[in-house]
Amino acid sequence: MKLYIFSGSLASGKGTQASLITKFLPNAVHLSTGEIFRAEIEAGTEIGKKAKALIDVGTLVPDDSTNAIVVSFLEALDPTSNVLLDGYPRNEAQVAFLEQYVQEKNHTIEKVILLDLDESVVKKRVLGRFECRHCHVMYNDFFKPTKREGVCDVCGSKEFYRRPSDTEKTIEKRLALYRNTIVKALSFYENKDNFVRIDANKSPSEVFKEIKEKVFKNSEIKGNSDKN
């Protein structure tokens, strides 16, 4: 199994880029720990209940629960999968766990992709973002509002969702967490050959282009990616 780590601050576009890549990379699977926790919260499971309190205040879910959901996700996959890890590992303990796990299972960490985003852009992206509750299209008050106020452009729904953790207070906390924890954890990879830094301040399609050029060198991508 080949693993690609997508890292970056909140709203750096990790999830967007990973899902764009799943459309083109053969056997690609997107593993977002944040999405798994949000699904557990929606489903009202025990993990979800514990995670909600932590996510709402902008702190990390404990490593043992996080490592366990990652392992159970990976173990259910076909061994030929290309796994796009979105938001994991996020601290030094998770890096150490993943390194050992990968070695034991004979998997490889193909690339570590850091999406680098200015903090001023982070704030607008996070405070402005919301999604349609029905078709899940993403909007942003600053960059991409709905054409008619309060109505989804795609499905016409009037119901929208904002993540409860997207507040000024939690943004500051999550940015501090990013600077103090994730950046430190990534230093393990920073001087290795498979580490790639991407400028994430650009539009999603420009970022995607840079990732294709620097990470996949276009060779592993199938189909015509220009539509993105």
By CB under 6 A, name the binding residues for ligand AMP.
Answer: 10, 33-34, 37, 54-55, 60-61, 66, 87-88, 90, 94, 174
| Least Å from the CB of residue 149 to ligand AMP | 27
Structure tokens at 60: 């990390």
Q: Which is nearer to ligand AMP, 60 or 137 (CB)?
A: 60
3-class DSSP assignment, residue 84: strand
In the set 124, 163, 202, 209, the catalytic residue is 163
- Are 175 and 122 a contacting pair, CB within 8 Å? yes
Order of strands across the sheet that contains 195-199: 28-32, 82-86, 2-8, 108-116, 195-199
In the set 90, 111, 125, 212, the catalytic residue is 90
14 flagged as catalytic:
yes
Share in percent of the chain as helix, strand, coil (round to 5)? 45, 20, 35
Indicate the burial class of 163 (C-beta count within 10 angstroms; 0-12, 13-18, 19 or more): middle
133 flagged as catalytic:
no
129 flagged as catalytic:
yes
| Least Å from the CB of residue 143 to ligand AMP | 18
| Least Å from the CB of residue 87 to ligand AMP | 3
163 flagged as catalytic:
yes
197 flagged as catalytic:
no
Angle at 64 between CA 174 and CA 80, to 5 degrees: 95
| Least Å from the CB of residue 226 to ligand AMP | 28
Residues labelled as active-site residues:
14, 90, 129, 163, 174
